[in-house]
Amino acid sequence: MRKTTAGVAWALAAGWLFGCSFSVAAQERSAYREAVEQADRLFQGGNFRNAAERYFFASQATKERLELARAYIGLSMSYLYLKDESAAEKWVRKVLEAAPRLKVDVPDYPISFVQFFGRVRADVFKESSLPAAAEEEIAKTAPSAPDVAAAEKSEPSPVKTSPPPDSPRPSEPKGKETRPDTTPEPAQVKPLPPAAARPQVPAVPKVFRPGGRFQVMFHASNWTIDPVLNIVERLVRDKIGEEILNQVDNELRTKYFTLVASGSEQALDFDSSGSNFGLEIRYFSRGWGGTFSLGLAFDRTTIRLALAGRVMQSYTNGTSVEAEANGALTTDLSSTVLSFRWDISPASRLTPFIILGLGVTPFQGRVSYEYSGTYDAVIFQDTISGGEEKTFSELAEEQEFDMIDVFVVLQLAVGFDIEVFKGLTGVVEAGLWDGFYLRGGLGYRF
């Protein structure tokens, strides 16, 4: 039951974090990729008109600048070979709107298209009324110009790329005995029985002392989901791994515009860790003899899900890139948890207990990754490296999905409370806190 509860909580959290964030983008990339591949085949076969239709469809299926430029180049080349220079010029201008610093050179493109592109580019810059400073600012914010390293030299040949991707005893004074009240009422005088026959009330145990209704405790915890990491490991690994591969591919495509992905591989190891500290105020309605208490805790928790290993991307031209990568999903949670605790043998100095808690926390965090590797182009090698960090809100905005604002905290644990000295207590507990945790605390009961 405990593993199932933790599993459901983490599956929902991890599924929300990663599954939703990539669904829309994945659909768009799939439609774009399929359209571009179809258009390339049509172009190579000389069917320029149908190729133009598929390139246009691809341009409607993406919002990425480089992908738009890729589709627009295909459109302009198709219309150029259809002898429609006005349409070809229109799409060259679209290319320059999407990627102002894009360069088209021989031998990566046919010389006729290179010359045509150059003429339109010169006209566009001549028509521009922006001052030089503004043009320079545009150049700084625009994507880097792709330098294509390997492409077929035969005409026609459009450039190929792939998309990025918790009954009381009365309190008595210590050390005193309580005897029955034998004071006779005025109208009912009765002789007292012999002393030996009089019932005696046992002395109150030492642990039962006045007060003990409140406890204030500071605690710290170590947190992990390693015992149940199979629930979220694959989901987290696949999604972060895919994001790293997309970033690697993006970097390469800014240099080698003709690359088309043919397969990918990732060997990433998963790990989880976390820490927690906080303050708890607990109320024992029946004092030291009560078995039930109600607590309110204020916690600060850091959770880290990490990946480290190798990723590899291969391309249709026989080249490949391999990189060592690591990524992490880190959350910083400030939670308020209401807990119910049941003590076993509260009269003892060592008191086992069971605790059940439920709370909420504003959901905040960040995703980060970095990589370093080598692109093997058979005849030469190129070093690549990079990384990125973004908040959950930025990720949600970029991937166009709704981000939840509040995260539910579920606590289920067992532990023991030991009285160290006159109300000073130590607490040790272990269990579920949307994961597995081990906690130690020190409190004072008064």
Region at 12 (left for phi over 0; alpha for psi -120 to 50; beta for the rest)? alpha
User: CA-to-CA distance for 135 and 117, rounded, in angstroms?
Assistant: 19
Q: Give the angle 336-341-343 at the CA atoms, nearest 5°.
A: 155
Tell me how far apart the alpha carbons of residues 135 and 131 are, in angstroms, rounded to a whole number. 6
- The residue segments making up the domain with residue 46 are 24-141
The more confidently predicted of residues 42 and 149 is 42
Tell me: pLDDT of 182 over 50: no
> Do 32 and 69 form a contact (C-beta atoms < 8 A)?
no
**Ramachandran region of residue 222, left (φ > 0), alpha (ψ -120 to 50) or beta?**
beta
Indicate if the pLDDT at residue 16 is higher than 60: no
Whether 384 has a pLDDT exceeding 80, the answer reads yes
Domains identified in the chain, total number: 2
- As a whole number of Å, the end-to-end CA separation of the chain is 36
CATH number at 103 reads 1.25.40.10
In a domain, 170, yes or no: no
Judge if pTM exceeds 0.85: no
Where residue 185 falls among pLDDT bands split at 50, 70, 90? very low
**Shared domain check, 409 and 315:** yes
**3-state SS, residue 275:** strand
pLDDT of residue 26: 56
- Dihedral of alpha carbons 34, 37, 41, 47, sign: positive
Domain boundary among 112, 141, 170: 141
Last residue of a domain, one of 141, 164, 180: 141
Same domain, 240 and 323: yes
Banded pLDDT at 210 (limits 50, 70, 90):
low
pLDDT in the model for residue 159? 46
pLDDT tens, 263-298?
888 888 877 778 889 999 999 988 887 899 999 999
pLDDT tens per residue, range 211-253: 788 999 999 988 776 554 554 566 566 667 777 888 888 888 8
Last residue of a domain, one of 126, 141, 156: 141
Asked if 234 and 378 sit in the same domain, the reply is yes
